[in-house]
Structure formats: structure tokens, C-alpha cells
Amino acid sequence: MSQDQQRKIAIVTGGSRGIGRSTVESLARRGVNVIFTFHSHSENADAVVAGAKSFGVQVFALQLDAGKVSEFTAFEERVKAALAELGAERFDYLVNNAGNNHRNMPLESVTEEEMDSIYSVHFKGVLFLTQTLLPLMNDGGRIVNVSTTRTRLSSRGGAAYASMKGAVDVLSRHMATELGPRRITVNVIAPGAVATDFSGGIVRDNPEVNKLVANHTALGRVAGPDDIGPAIASLLADDNGWVNGQRIEVNGGVMM
């Protein structure tokens, strides 16, 4: 058996930037082969592939709209092809990370189109992509769904997005129960505000928002992607095999 056949294999959605990119790199650093998805900007995906491969693992970037369930069957076939290149039929880890929140959406102005988009990516896509990929997952595997601290902390303009992430929190507990007989654990990582291009880069690029978040964080600063990606990779490791059905906030101590 080759070294690549002995390695664990992960699938990460939304892996070309931000938290997803850090997760891919963190897994690669741990010797995990990675298949990740990207929605657009293939040049970013190519850069992630090149960087992660520098750790001596195999990495595949597959384009996917994580909110279009109609694409999932074809995506499953591309996953099978990538697994075949690794000499494998199944994978070990799934990280449902892809997101699409573009702005704060006050109740007075959020549109049906925006709500449908958030629902499709952040909840419906998570459920049905997991369903699609489960036959390819090894028993004893690990699933991490990415949520948000905003399901605990209410804020103006956050109702639509946070509600869908709250649904993911509930879904994850039920998934953990249903997948228990296969020894597949399911947990949630809930970051606080992170300095990425998410929501137009408001936390990263707006000094007032950045300072506000830092002032309400026990560790006194805003998180970067590399504060979150390694935590996800760590939760997937064998050392955390008895952690199951949990929602874990990774936020530096926001408004405790």
C-alpha cells in the first residue's frame, strides 16, 4: 500500500479562500489529502492547490455551487474520480464550510431572493451534500459543519443569516444521532467575526468595526482565518474522536 493510500482524505467546501483555505492548508500540514470546492476564481483555487501540495500531499480543486442541489450528483462522480487517483474509494473527513453572506440584512429590507440564497447554501446545501457524500465516507469518519457565534448573539441585520446557521446547529445534533451507528461524529465549529472578505470584508477592512469586535473579545483582537482553520483540522483528528454532537465556539472569548 502506498503512502497516499494510507493517508486520510478530507473534503472541504469553500476551500479557496478565508477559513476554508486555512482549513485545507492545516489539513495538508497534518498529512491529509484534500479535495476542496470553489465556486469561482479558479486562480485562487490553483494557488491553494500549489500551497497545500508543498506539504507533500495530494490536493484536488473541484468547482461547485454549494447551493445548487441539482449539481451534487455530478459532483459525486467527480469526487469518485479524484478518490480513484488517490487509490481510494472512500474519504474520511467532511467540512461543510461554503458560505455566501454578502451584507447585513435588516428585517425591513431583506428580500426573498436573498433569503432563498442563504437557505440554499447554508442549510439546504449542507444537508443534501452530506446526504450525497455519505455513501463515500468511511465508517468512523468525521463531519464538521461551520456555523457562527451570531446564533448566540443577536445583532441588527443578522436575523436571516444567523437563523440559517442556527438551523445547521440543530441539524448537526440530529446528524450525530443518525450517524452514530456508523461511528461518524458530527460537530459544529462556530467562529466569531473573522477578518476575511466575507460580507464585503467589513471586519477586515473597516477600522471601526474591527476595533469594536476587538474591544468585545477577551483576547483583544479580531480573528484571522488561521485562528479557525487549525481548530477545524484539530477537531477532525483521532484525538477528538469522542467529541460528538457539540457546538464549539472558536472566537477568542466574544462577549462571554
Q: Which residues are catalytic?
A: 161
CA angle 231, 56, 47 (to 5 degrees): 75
One-letter identity of residue 194: V
H/E element, 106: none
- In eight-state DSSP terms, residue 81 is H
> Contacts for 235-241 with beta carbons within 8 Å, 24 or more apart?
235/142, 235/144, 235/187, 235/189, 236/10, 236/27, 236/32, 236/93, 236/95, 236/142, 236/144, 237/30, 241/140, 241/142, 241/185
Buried b (16+ CB within 10 A) or exposed e, 34-52: bbbbbbeeeeebeebbeeb
The C-alpha cell of 42 is what?
A: 479558479
Place of cell 500551497: 51
Which sign, positive or negative, has the C-alpha torsion 168, 137, 3, 37?
negative
